[in-house]
Structure 1
Amino acid sequence: MAKSEQVEKAYKLAKERYAELDVDTDKVMDELKKVKISVHCWQGDDIHGFLNPNQELTGGIGVSGNYPGIARTPDQLTGDLHEALSLIPGKHKVQLHTIYAVTDKKKDFNEVGPEDFKYWVDWAKEEGIGLDMNPTFFSHPMVKNNFTLASPDKSVRDYWIEVGKKSREISNYFGKELGQRSVNNFWIPDGFKDNPIDKQSPRERLIQSLDTIFEKKYDENNTIESVEGKLFGTGIESYTVGSHLFYNNYAISRGKLWTIDAGHWHPTEDVSDKFSAFMPFGKGLMLHVSRPVRWDSDHVVIFDDALTRITRSLVRDNELSRTNIGLDFFDATINRVAAWVVGARATQKALLQAMLAPIADLKKAELNFDFTKRLAVTEELKSYPFGAVWDEFCLKNNTPVGTDWLNNIHDYEQKVQFPRDEK
């Protein structure tokens, strides 16, 4: 029996099982296909970019490993992204950074504009995908003493303010050209390694810098800003200017999206608990789905309990329409294209499993204090055949089923990636 026939047979049985709970698996797959994952380009080249690829990584960022076949040119990086996207069901987006500008001449970060991302827009049109943006506030000599937008030095602040303004022009360009709103995510590495005397002044400077960057109004159908906090980072262990609470308040007071990076919190915190507390007050969320291991180490996303809780919260509270889901990890110990595929498919699986539940019925039981039914049904759902539905979803979207996509990766790295290191 051909694999497609096996998938169809298993799906038919799974569909019948879920129908017993009044869950329409066909409808669920249609809904899942609408969810776009924003794939981060920097997994493909270990965050080197093209503006100054030999610059040492700063801002608390580090990449482990030296797996062969790293992308070194724009064509290599887009080629790798194309391969990854072909193995991920559906049509998605790609996140960029200032450092990924493709220019004819050497430019500084504060000189980069929309014209330097035409390469990416042309490629995105060919792929039929959207683009998101991130201004780069790291790996540059103007990061002075771990400070950028909150620096006490006005010349430093002014430099980075211009970088932020330029990124908004670029993000607006993405949205206009591609017809998909571009999320422009702001994260800075500012803070102190040891205990500061003055905690308030840096935050007041950051507010002023951000307000200056955001003075110009853009059509939110084209671009919208998100602000990302962090618990700590290398070199800013004692005080982070852009903390979670700071950006939570800034996002609410300024009408911005709040970015929650799953790897930027204390290991004992459940980030999914933050969603329902923020959403009644905020405009929406940007998620960076990552996997911390003991600290903010940005491991490849896997289908684990933390990811399951994230997707369940979004699905059960019906917040997918106001949430932008992006990936954020960098692992050079494995094939970089495979890392994208593992992370994106894991996120989609978690979303699918969350959707395959009689949510309205469970909410009704909860409202009637029938906690017995709530517990019994949610426990039984854990062993329901959602994997058969996932295989059908892959089949319907012309992507490999099961581990078959690894054959594509092995072939791609032998023919395309590994020869790069021989030149």
Structure 2
Amino acid sequence: MNQSVVNSYNEAKKLYESHGIDVDQVLKQLSEIKISLHCWQGDDVRGFLFRDKELSGGIAVTGSYPGRASTPQELREDLEKALSLIPGKHKVNLHAIYADTDEQVDLDELEPRHFEKWVEWAKEQGLGLDFNPTYFSHPNAADGFTLSHTNDEIREFWIRHGKASRKIAEHFGRELGQTCFTNFWVPDGYKDTPVDRLAPRQRLAASLDEIFSELIDEQFNVDGVESKLFGIGSESYVVGSHEFYMGYGISRGKAITLDAGHFHPTEVISNKLSSILMFSKHLLLHVSRPVRWDSDHVVTMDDELLEIARELVRGDLLSKTSLGLDFFDGSINHLAAWVIGTRNTIKALLRAMLEPVEELRKIELAGDYTSRLALVEEFKSYPFGAVWDYYCASQGVPVREQWLNEVKRHEQEVLLKR
């Protein structure tokens, strides 16, 4: 390891240890946190099940950066490269449309065998897999409704897809020895103001109840339900609102999924975490960066990311939280997007873990808000970067921006030749 990296780390340790922070223990804890990398960043959410279908259902990707994956093997190759530049051991999050099969099969006919190559690859790489049923980019979602559809046949199609997805997820968990977190998000909603807001929500709740009626061991699969404020084609009304899924998830014992970009542009999710985990046994987080209306921007080290990390650490909520990414930016190198977003998420957690939480809590309980503010602000300029550099080096991944050289080399040798 570079001696200057070691020296800087040792000096940083002295500062943190003066506040009772065991930096070596922090890095051990950090190495045990798994981030779920979303596969759909690698190919602009196209998938492989319906290769000729255009995106629909409120999903839009901008940009045409060269080299996106067009086969499952290319996507796995890109994921391997990205993961080699990220410290720690993580997971990959699959959507149903990423089945690796030559069969002509529809969404409601999917089985674990259609993902067996993904399972074999995950075993080889020592990775876990998470899952998402795909409720978009399909003729049965053409009018913007799926599980809340008024048509019984269409609604039943999507119920079968949900049931099939949970069996696939259970297979992932059983085969890989890591719990698979399966996230349910549907785009259902109206572009203009509806007359009846209740009936679609009643249909959605009934459909979800039917999907979840089969008991699955939560050692292998945990279900999550995800809300959204509005989207393309559902600007005025979304059936699965935050209030709907908060009530549904808590009453049905399901995990609640919060996406950082699925709320009002001035609303943040960091302030929701402790409240939800008081009443919900588990939380799924889609870490993203909302800009104006949606969440498809690469995660940067902004204030909200830091607040999310602080809330998870200060409240000791990490053990009940599954962390994943969700953005799809086609305007920059697809691998770089993964690496930037994941490294930033881990880096934010490190910064939070390097705060003197117990000391700050005691100061707060004593009513010394002056000292609380002073310490919180001073720690913002403590040398966490030196600790981060050491962590990357100790994990065998590039330090600082050196990873970009690897991405650029991969782009020249692999991506631009596709």
Q: Give the match for residue 233 of structure 2.
A: 235
Displacement of 1:297 in angstroms is 4.1
Matches within 5 A, 1:5-16: 5-16=3-14
Q: Give the match for residue 114 of structure 1.
A: 112
Q: Give the match for residue 18 of structure 1.
A: 16
Q: Which amino acid aligns with 2:188?
A: D
Q: Structure 1: how far apart are the matches of 2:296 and 2:318?
A: 23
Q: In 2, are the aligned partners of 1:59 and 1:146 still within 8 Å (CA)? A: yes
Q: Which amino acid aligns with 1:417?
A: L
Corresponding residue to 1:327 among 321, 325, 328: 325
List per-residue Cα deviations over 1:55-76 (Å, max 9, x = no partner). 0101111111111111001110
Q: Which amino acid aligns with 2:199?
A: S
Q: Give the match for residue 198 of structure 1.
A: 196
Q: Stretches of 4+ moved more than 6 A in 1?
A: none
Q: Structure 2: how far apart are the matches of 1:47 and 1:257?
A: 24
Matched, 1:56 2:59: no
List per-residue Cα deviations over 1:85-113 (Å, max 9, x = no partner). 00010100000011000112111111111
List per-residue Cα deviations over 1:142-173 (Å, max 9, x = no partner). 01421000001111100000000000000000
Q: In 2, are the aligned partners of 1:275 and 1:313 still within 8 Å (CA)? A: yes
Q: Structure 1: how far apart are the matches of 2:276 and 2:371?
A: 29
Q: Which amino acid aligns with 2:318?
A: L
Displacement of 1:372 in angstroms is 1.4
Q: Structure 2: how far apart are the matches of 1:365 and 1:270?
A: 26
Corresponding residue to 1:180 among 166, 171, 178: 178
Q: Give the match for residue 253 of structure 1.
A: 251
Matches within 5 A, 1:102-251: 102-251=100-249
Q: Structure 1: how far apart are the matches of 2:73 and 2:139?
A: 27
Q: In 2, are the aligned partners of 1:144 and 1:156 still within 8 Å (CA)? A: no
Q: Structure 2: how far apart are the matches of 1:367 and 1:298?
A: 39
Q: Which amino acid aligns with 1:312?
A: R
Unaligned runs of 5+ in 2: none
Q: Structure 2: how far apart are the matches of 1:113 and 1:294?
A: 38
Unaligned runs of 5+ in 1: none
**RMSD of aligned Cα (Å):** 0.8
Corresponding residue to 2:84 among 86, 89, 95: 86
Q: In 1, are the aligned partners of 2:231 and 2:293 still within 8 Å (CA)? A: no
Q: In 2, are the aligned partners of 1:124 and 1:130 still within 8 Å (CA)? A: yes
Q: Give the match for residue 302 of structure 2.
A: 304
- Normalising by structure 1, we get a TM-score of 0.98
Q: Give the match for residue 29 of structure 1.
A: 27
Q: Structure 2: how far apart are the matches of 1:339 and 1:383?
A: 26
List per-residue Cα deviations over 1:252-287 (Å, max 9, x = no partner). 000010000001111111211111111111111000
Q: Which moved more, 1:101-110 or 1:379-388?
A: 101-110
* Number of equivalenced pairs: 418
Q: Give the match for residue 273 of structure 1.
A: 271
- Residue identity over aligned pairs, in percent, reads 56
Q: Which moved more, 1:249-258 or 1:289-298?
A: 289-298
Matches within 5 A, 1:331-410: 331-410=329-408
| 3-state SS of 2:289 partner | coil
Displacement of 1:397 in angstroms is 0.4
Matches within 5 A, 1:313-324: 313-324=311-322
